[in-house]
Structure 1
Amino acid sequence: MKPIDAVITWVDGSDPAHERKLAGYLASTGISRPSAAHRTRFNDAGEIDYCLRSILQFAPWFRKIHIVCDAQSPGILEQLQGTPHADRIHLVDHREIFEGFEQHLPTFNSRSIISMLWRIKGLAEQFVYFNDDMFLLRDVSPDDFFRDGKVVQRGLWRMQSGQTWSSRLLGLLKRLRGHREEKVGNLDSQQMSARVAGFSDRYYRLYHNPYPMLRSTLERFFSEHPDLLQKNCSFRLRSNEQFKTEAVATHLEFLHDNAIVDNSLHVVQLKPSEQLPARVRIKIGKADSDESAAFVCVQSLELAPESLQREIVEWLNRRIVQTNS
C-alpha cells in the first residue's frame, strides 16, 4: 500500500500571541474587524483533540499526521508524548509552507493556508486534508479515499449558478438593487474553483468531510500557474476572490479521469449555534444508528448554548474518546 498522510489545519485564536498578530494586522490596514476575521473562525473549543484522537483510533494506517499551525502546539501533543503515536505526528509551521512567500505572513486565512499544504516537506503523494472540526466516527480504510491511484470523491455535480435562468434573473435583480454580497460563500468559491480547473458550466459540490488529494497534481498545476498561487495565498483574511484549493484539486482529478464518485459513506454536519437543539439531537441519533455515517463536522461549537455544548461533548467523548480507552 502506498503511504497516505493526514493533514490538519489548526489555530488557537485565544492565544495572546495570535490575538496580537491579528490586531496588529487589522490596525495596519485601518479596517474594523470584518466577518472574515470573526473570532469563531479562530476559536479553539478542543476540536483538535477529537480530530486527532479519531484519526488515531479509526484510521491507524495513516503514515504521518501533519498539524499545520502558526508557532503554536495543541495541548494534546503533551498527552501523547511517550506513546507510540508521538513519532507519527509532525508540527508544520506556516513559515515552512510559505517559504518564498513570507511577505504574506502572518495569515489568518484557511484558504490561503490550504493553497500551500502540498509544500509540506516530506508529505506523502496521497494525503487527506482535515479541518480541525472534522472527526471520524467509525473505522475507515485507505480505499475510502484512494483506489488504484484514483481519488475517491464525495459530493454531487451541479450546474454553475450563472447557467440557470433563475440564477441569472436573481443576479440581475441584485445588481438593479445595488446589492453587494459581503459574505464569503462556500458554494460560490466551489464554483469559482471549478472554473479555475476548466469547468465552465458545472461544478462538483463537495461535502464538508475530509478531502483526499494528490500532492503531484497540485505541484504540477501551480508550477504551470504560479500567478494563481501567488494571488490565492496573498489574502490575509478570507476573500470572495479566492478559490478553494481542495475543490480545484478535485476538479483537476475529474478533468484527468482520475476520480471516483462514491457516496456510500457520509458526513453528519452539526451547526449547534444555528440549528435548533432538537435538530442537533436528531442528527446525533441518526449518526449513532447509521453505519454509513463515517464523518462528523461540528462547526462553531463554542457559540452554541452551554447545555447543548455539553451534550455534544458527551457524545463525542462516547464515540471517540471512550472508544480510544
Structure 2
Amino acid sequence: MEESKEIVIDAIITWVDGNDPVHKAKMSNYLSDKSTGSNTSFRTLFDQVNEIEFCVKSILKYAKFVRNIFIVTDNQTPGFLKDKEKAKENFPNVFIIDHKTIFKGNEQYLPTFNSLSIETLLFKVPDLAEHFIYFNDDFFLINETTPNDFFINGLPVLRGKWMPHNKNIVKNRIFSNKKEKYTVLYRKAKDTSSKILGFDKSFNIHHSPHPIRKSTLVDFFKKNEAILLQNIKFKFRHEDQYILQSLANHIELKNNTCIQEKKLAIVYMKSYTFFKTFKKFTRAKYNKNYLFMCLQNLDQCDAKKLVFIKKWLHKKYN
C-alpha cells in the first residue's frame, strides 16, 4: 500500500455567499413558502461572514502537503479571490469549481441549494487527487498537520465513535422546534448513510475535515447509480437524503479499509457566550493536541464577539 508521505492530497471546500442578491433571488424562485427564506435556522445554512478566506489560509499554513484547494460554488467567487491577478500570485493552487462542472450530465437538478446534494458529486471535480480532504467553509486547521493525520498507508483516518441509530426520529420531528428539526434531519441523514451499507448503528462524523478516497465513491456509484441520483435530486435538504462523507466512511468501514481514531482533536463552537468563546479560543491557542476548529453559525454571533473572533483569525493566519 501507498505510504502517506508519498501520496498526493487535495482539499475541497464547499461555499456559498447567501447574502448575494442574485443567489437570494434564484433561491426564492424555488421556495414554496417564501417566509422560509428569512428564517434564521434556514438562513444560517447559506449566510457567511467570509470564513472561507481563513479556511483556505489555514490549509496553506498548517497543511503544506496539500497540492490543490478546490472551492465548489454556484457562479460565485469569494472576496479575497476576486482580484484575479492578486489571487494568481498569492493563491496559485486555489481553484474555483462551478456546480455546472460537477453536475455535468445531471444538469436537470440545477440550480441546487442543498449541500447534501452538492457533496454527493464532489468526487467529480476535474483532476481531483485520489486522496482528498473535504472541508466546510467553517472548518479551520489550527496547528501543524501531516498526511498521517488524514491518511495512513493510503487509508483514511476516521475520527469518531459508533452510535446507535436514533429510535425517536418520528417523535423528534413532530415535537422539535424549527432549529432542532435541522439537527434531527442531519442525524437521520447520518443513520441513512450507514443503513445503505447494512449497518444497524452509525459511525458518528463530526464537524472536522473528512479524508476521502475518490475511488471509493467512483466504484460504489458505478454499481449504485440510483443511490447517487436519489440524493442529488433535492434542491433543499430532505429527510430521505444521506451524507456523502458518512457514506464514504461506512463503505471503508465495511471493507475494513480505514483507520479508526477516537481522538477528535477539535475545538468546536456553536454558541458564542463570552465565557465559552474565551475558554475555547484559549484552548485553540495553547493546546497543540487540537488540530481542527469549527466555528458553526458564526453568522449568528453578535457583533462584538464577531470582531474579536475575526481579529483572532486574522492574526493567526496572516
Please report how far the alpha carbon of residue 78 of structure 1 lies from its aligned counterpart in structure 2 after TM superposition: 4.1
Mean Cα deviation higher: 261-270 or 68-77? 261-270
Checking the alignment, whether the CA contact within 8 Å between 2:117 and 2:232 is kept in structure 1 is yes
Please report how far the alpha carbon of residue 302 of structure 1 lies from its aligned counterpart in structure 2 after TM superposition: 2.0
Instruction: Specify the alignment match of 2:26 in structure 1.
Output: 21
Please report how far the alpha carbon of residue 51 of structure 1 lies from its aligned counterpart in structure 2 after TM superposition: 0.4
Q: 1:265 to 1:223 in 2, by over 3 A?
A: same
RMSD of aligned residue pairs (Cα, Å): 2.2
Confirm whether residue 118 of structure 1 aligns to residue 132 of structure 2. Answer: no
Name the SS for the 2:29 alignment partner: helix
* Cα distance in 1, alignment partners of residues 78 and 33 from structure 2: 31
* Cα distance in 2, alignment partners of residues 85 and 237 from structure 1: 32
Name the SS for the 2:89 alignment partner: coil
* Cα distance in 2, alignment partners of residues 36 and 237 from structure 1: 15
Mean Cα deviation higher: 254-263 or 205-214? 254-263
CA-to-aligned-CA distance 1:281-322 (integer Å, 9 cap, x gap): 11111222211111111112121111111121122122222x
CA-to-aligned-CA distance 1:193-219 (integer Å, 9 cap, x gap): 1111221x2111112100000111111
Instruction: Specify the alignment match of 1:194 in structure 2.
Output: 194
Confirm whether residue 295 of structure 1 aligns to residue 301 of structure 2. Answer: no
Name the SS for the 2:70 alignment partner: strand
Instruction: Specify the alignment match of 2:282 in structure 1.
Output: 285
Checking the alignment, whether the CA contact within 8 Å between 2:160 and 2:264 is kept in structure 1 is no
Instruction: Specify the alignment match of 1:232 in structure 2.
Output: 231
Alignment length (residue pairs):
306
Query: Of 267, 273, 276, which aligns to 1:276?
Result: 273
* Cα distance in 1, alignment partners of residues 121 and 46 from structure 2: 19
CA-to-aligned-CA distance 1:60-112 (integer Å, 9 cap, x gap): 211111100001111212464342631x1121100011111111111111000
Mean Cα deviation higher: 70-79 or 246-255? 70-79
Query: Of 84, 91, 108, which aligns to 1:85?
Result: 91
* Cα distance in 1, alignment partners of residues 194 and 161 from structure 2: 13
CA-to-aligned-CA distance 1:2-50 (integer Å, 9 cap, x gap): 2111000001111121111111122xx4664266982221112010000
* Cα distance in 2, alignment partners of residues 259 and 59 from structure 1: 21
Name the SS for the 1:71 alignment partner: coil
TM-score, normalising length: structure 1? 0.88
Please report how far the alpha carbon of residue 181 of structure 1 lies from its aligned counterpart in structure 2 after TM superposition: 8.1
* Cα distance in 1, alignment partners of residues 176 and 60 from structure 2: 44
Name the SS for the 2:66 alignment partner: coil
Please report how far the alpha carbon of residue 275 of structure 1 lies from its aligned counterpart in structure 2 after TM superposition: 4.2
* Cα distance in 1, alignment partners of residues 263 and 299 from structure 2: 31
Confirm whether residue 38 of structure 1 aligns to residue 42 of structure 2. Answer: yes
Instruction: Specify the alignment match of 2:312 in structure 1.
Output: 315
Instruction: Specify the alignment match of 1:67 in structure 2.
Output: 71
Tell me which amino acid in the other structure corresponds to 1:224. Answer: K
* Cα distance in 1, alignment partners of residues 80 and 314 from structure 2: 15
Checking the alignment, whether the CA contact within 8 Å between 1:36 and 1:238 is kept in structure 2 is no
Tell me which amino acid in the other structure corresponds to 2:16. Answer: V
* Cα distance in 2, alignment partners of residues 240 and 287 from structure 1: 35
Confirm whether residue 52 of structure 1 aligns to residue 56 of structure 2. Answer: yes
Q: 1:278 to 1:30 in 2, by over 3 A?
A: closer
Gaps of 5+ in 2: 1-5
Tell me which amino acid in the other structure corresponds to 2:36. Answer: R
Q: 1:255 to 1:110 in 2, by over 3 A?
A: same
Pairwise mapping of residues 165-184 of structure 1 onto structure 2 (< 5 A)? Answer: 174=171, 179=175, 183-184=181-182
Q: 1:178 to 1:118 in 2, by over 3 A?
A: closer
Confirm whether residue 12 of structure 1 aligns to residue 17 of structure 2. Answer: yes
Query: Of 146, 153, 175, which aligns to 1:141?
Result: 146
Name the SS for the 2:140 alignment partner: strand
* Cα distance in 1, alignment partners of residues 100 and 255 from structure 2: 32
Name the SS for the 2:61 alignment partner: helix
Name the SS for the 1:161 alignment partner: coil
Tell me which amino acid in the other structure corresponds to 2:52. Answer: I
Gaps of 5+ in 1: none
Checking the alignment, whether the CA contact within 8 Å between 1:152 and 1:260 is kept in structure 2 is yes
Please report how far the alpha carbon of residue 178 of structure 1 lies from its aligned counterpart in structure 2 after TM superposition: 6.4
